[in-house]
Amino acid sequence: MSDLFRLDGKTVAVVGAGSGIGAAVALGAARQGARVACLDVAADAAQETAERIRHAGGTADAHTVDIVDAAATTQALSAAKQPGGRLDGVVCTPSINVRKPLLDYSEEEFDRVVRLNLKGSFNVVRAAGRLMVDQRSGSLVVFSSIRSMVVEPGQSIYAMTKAGIVQLVRGAACEFGAAGVRVNAVGPGVVETPLTAPIKANPDWYRAYANKSILKRWASAEEMVGPTLFLISDAASFVTGTILYADGGWLAADGRFTPPGI
């Protein structure tokens, strides 16, 4: 059964492979036997992850891409295909957040968050979908968040984009499924990455988030590897159009207070 989770002979492109969850997923895919294409807006960071994979005995290359540029995204994913012309898996992790009350949001801030989180994800799904539908196989995984379901002050626009990603994934799954292409999302809870560094720097804020999850802690970026590679692998061959929450039970608990006697 363990072979179901292996990625031997497959090519997996990881967008956002230069840091955080993307880097962890790229390294994890290589450990499972995949040839990995490391894509990132930061060329040096993508190359560094690819070098780490090669140093560990894996196969990887690096490509620079800004996913808000549709043509560049298409070009980068086409270049990521293996020599035989296949692209078996694509993982899209990048997003940004401007934490600010909705009434204080500027139009420029709104455009910046929506442009990367939604338009960028759309560009990846469309470009990868065209390749995979043509080859009649493949698996796409786009990163959403628990914020697709729940929100807190200062997260309105970010949450809107993460909910939009879930619907993008569902729509793409409906359209690509007849060609044997699967499309899913991962919904992390709080994960220690560069994006969440400002929270970690505030001890009260950091502890409050840790205590909200049932496991009473944050996740590491490496803990997003298993859920992601499951969706990419043949182990999830009948899984499409859904979101897999990897949130430490955040969404399962409705409050932070434990009643007396429990």
pLDDT beneath 50, residues of the chain: none
For residue 42, what pLDDT is reported? Answer: 98
3-state secondary structure the chain: CHHHHCCCCCEEEEECCCCHHHHHHHHHHHHCCCEEEEEECCHHHHHHHHHHHHHCCCEEEEEECCCCCHHHHHHHHHHHCCCCCCCCEEEECCCCCCCCCHHHCCHHHHHHHHHHHHHHHHHHHHHHHHHHHHHCCEEEEEECCHHHCCCCCCCHHHHHHHHHHHHHHHHHHHHHHHHCEEEEEEEECCEECHHHHHHHCCHHHHHHHHHHCCCCCCEEHHHHHHHHHHHHCHHHCCCCCCEEEECCCHHHCCCCCCCCCC
For residue 84, what pLDDT is reported? Answer: 72
For residue 257, what pLDDT is reported? Answer: 63
Q: pLDDT (tens digit, 9 = 90+) per residue, 65-103? A: 999 999 999 999 999 997 678 999 999 999 999 999 999
pTM (predicted TM-score):
0.94
Q: What would be the CATH architecture of the domain defined by 2-245?
A: 3-Layer(aba) Sandwich (3.40)
Q: Which residues are catalytic?
A: 158
